[in-house]
Structure 1
Amino acid sequence: MSGNLEFVDLYGEKGSFLHQTFLYCEPLTQRSARHEWKIHPHRHKQITQIFLLTEGGVDVQLDGEHHRIDAPALLYIPDGVMHGFDWQANSQGTVLSVATPMLRQVEQNIGESAKPLTEAFVLAVHMAFSKPLLTICQAIQQEASASSPHQSSMLQALLQQLLIVMHRMQPARNEEGGFSKPERKLRQFQQLIRQHFAQQHKVSWYAGQIGVSQAHLNQICQQYYQSNALALVHQTLLSEAKRYLIFSDIAVAEIAERLGFSEPGYFNKFFKRHTGLSPAAYRRESQS
């Protein structure tokens, strides 16, 4: 497999990872301490992250939700999920970043009983799992930092071990976690929004992807969020626009292009309709 994967870093600049078998492991302190333990909200494209927190704690934002997490804990963040961290100083742990195509391939090797991990979640780490998780993460970090024969195969084998332990930690996921059918459809819709919001798909496209009618999708959204499906898509677009305006110096015209607007003027009208301010005015107010 080949082809670069786009990575959106903390402040919105583009970078690239090697290819679809990318896997990288680093100590939590390597990046967090450098940013004074506070990481602004951001999201990654086709990169899934797994955090093993062994000491300390963190206030984490996952899309619109906030969680307080104390060690020992495991945090799973799929691609497309907005996340930001306010770590306790001197927290310890391991951060694993893996190309989502590689993750999906490894999941298939586990077997049908292991359903794909497509939603963000936080798990307290029981004593019985803390040592196996730490051992596997250390092995991944050691293997990834070396240059050895069959390195890719070894990393995939270690990743498979890690995923198996994670599945054992949450057996309820194998029964759909107790979610009703409408709730599962809603979660699928939310996952698709995170992955495709910048492509400006119509609601009918999303409905077709999850196997329901547009009317039924709107009904589910009204039931759980008192909003229609299009409003949820626009909410994600707006949140992403605000992130760019607050945390980056990217020109408004480029932000519009990144978010799938064919003309900057359309983006300006969309943003002002939802906030009462133009993008430029919103940026000035947020930085004053």
Structure 2
Amino acid sequence: MFTVYNIEDFPSDRVVKGQFMMERFEDLQRPPNLKWPHKHNFYEILWLTSGKSTNVIDYHQTIVQPYTLFFISPGQLHLMSRADKVKGYSITFTEEFLLLTANNKERLLALSFLDNSYTAPYLKLNATTRGELEGVLQMLEAEVLLAEKSAVIIGHLLFTLLNKIQRIIDGKKTTTDHSNIIRFKKFRHLIEENYKTEKTLAFYAGHLAFTPHRLNEICKEVSGNTAGEIIRERLLLEAKRLLIHSDLTVGEIANELGYEDISYFSRQFREKESVTPSQYRKSMYQKYQNL
């Protein structure tokens, strides 16, 4: 349905093959006939130093200004509709590459901004925070430019950069228990694997060894929404993607998402969006096809 790109699809010599790339945005080589919108199977951090770009992640539009970090996670539907005189960096990496450095996956899950479904997809830097990150960025770039670059050094510098970003983010908001962030992200990953076939809170709570009440408490603390709302939001997101970017009928979309009753699917969609799926498709199609 949507093209999924790998790091190898973006030619560069500033890479750890298939796992990491750090390229100047203005020098970034894109795949031939790059398709928009598309998905990545890797994380990407955009660091703009000048110009601005308009990015759309799953129908949320953000104008990214200089000295702003913009985060894109695997599986998110991404569209860059404008890029005006943009300079900066594109840092891309896989989860597998990070695990070479942080062999405890829960240390990665604690980096809340890497799966950015419930927080802003960007971070505006001030002079202090910019200075804190620029030193690591410069060391990372210097290592990447070496002919005999070290994946181990790059991995440790990247992990340092990510943890510094997390510390800046944590300083901007009321502290959330990091153990609950980890639990919440495990819940989100479980939804991603099962949302088409499993829609009940009991299924997810059981697999995570929580009571439904406890799972709701965790979700409310981290995201402000109940677990049931998060499950329904994931289904709604996929419905929107298919309505805008596929030729499937509403009935076929309902079937694709595991609904046996098309009228029930349509009612749920209308309750959330205040329009029917067909009306949504008609109103949004032209907007997103012309971006």
| TM-score range normalised by the length of the shorter chain | 0.5 to 0.7
Secondary structure of the equivalent of 2:242? helix
Letter in 1 for 2:230: L
Q: Measured at CA, do residues 98 and 250 of structure 1 come closer, stay the same or move farther in structure 2, by a change above 3 Å?
A: farther
The CA deviation at 1:99 is 2.0
Equivalent residue, structure 1, for 2:167: 171
Taking a change above 3 Å as real, the CA distance of residues 139 and 270 of structure 1, as seen in their structure-2 partners, is farther
Aligned equivalent of 1:56? 51
Asked if residue 243 in structure 1 is aligned to residue 241 in structure 2, the reply is yes
Cross-structure match for 1:133 = 137
Q: TM (normalized to structure 1)?
A: 0.63
Structure 2: distance between partners of 1:83 and 1:138: 29
Listed one character per residue, the Cα deviations across residues 177-217 of structure 1 (whole Å, up to 9, x for unaligned) are 72147963784366436633644333234324555311233
Partner of 1:5: none
Q: State yes or no: 1:106 paired with 2:76.
A: no
Partner of 1:261: 257
Matches within 5 A, 1:196-207: 196=193, 198-201=195-198, 202-207=200-205
Equivalent residue number for residue 155 of structure 2: 159
Q: Deviations over 1:117-147 (max 9, x none)?
A: 243352525234325414524643x46xx8x
TM-align CA RMSD: 4.8
The letter for the 2-side match of 1:56 is: G
Amino acid in structure 2 at the alignment position of 1:243: R
Q: Once structures 1 and 2 are overlaid, which stretch shifts more, 100-109 or 171-180?
A: 171-180
1:188 is matched with 185
What corresponds to 2:11 in structure 1? none
The answer as to whether partners of 1:59 and 1:68 remain within 8 angstroms in 2 is yes
Separation in structure 1 between the aligned mates of residue 46 and residue 253 of structure 2, nearest angstrom: 32
Identity %: 16
1:1-288 matches, within 5 Å, as 12-14=2-4, 22-29=19-26, 30=28, 43-44=39-40, 46-58=41-53, 60=55, 69-81=64-76, 84-85=79-80, 89-108=84-103, 116-119=110-113, 120=116, 122=123, 124=125, 125-137=129-141, 139-140=143-144, 142=145, 154-171=150-167, 178-180=175-177, 184=181, 187-188=184-185, 191-192=188-189, 195-196=192-193, 198-201=195-198, 202-208=200-206, 210-219=208-217, 228-246=226-244, 248-252=245-249, 256=253, 261-262=257-258, 266=261, 269-271=264-266, 273-275=268-270, 279=277, 282-287=280-285
Is this contact kept in 2: 1:188–1:210, CA < 8 A? no
Name whichever of 127-136 and 87-96 sits farther off: 127-136
Cα contact 2:54–2:61 (8 A) shared by 1: yes
Q: Which amino acid aligns with 1:77?
A: I
Amino acid at match of 2:134: S
**Which letter does structure 2 place at the counterpart of 1:106?**
T
Structure 1 unaligned blocks of 5 or more: 1-7
How far residue 161 of structure 1 moved from its aligned partner, in angstroms, is 1.0
Q: Distance in 2 between matches of 1:118 and 1:279?
A: 32
Q: 2:225 and 2:132 mapped to 1: Cα distance?
A: 43
Change (3 A) 1:75 1:187: farther
Deviates more, 1:96-105 or 1:56-65: 56-65
Q: Could you tell me the TM-score, scaled by structure 2's length? A: 0.63
Aligned length: 260
Helix, strand or coil for the counterpart of 2:85? coil
- What amino acid is aligned across from residue 3 of structure 2 in structure 1? E
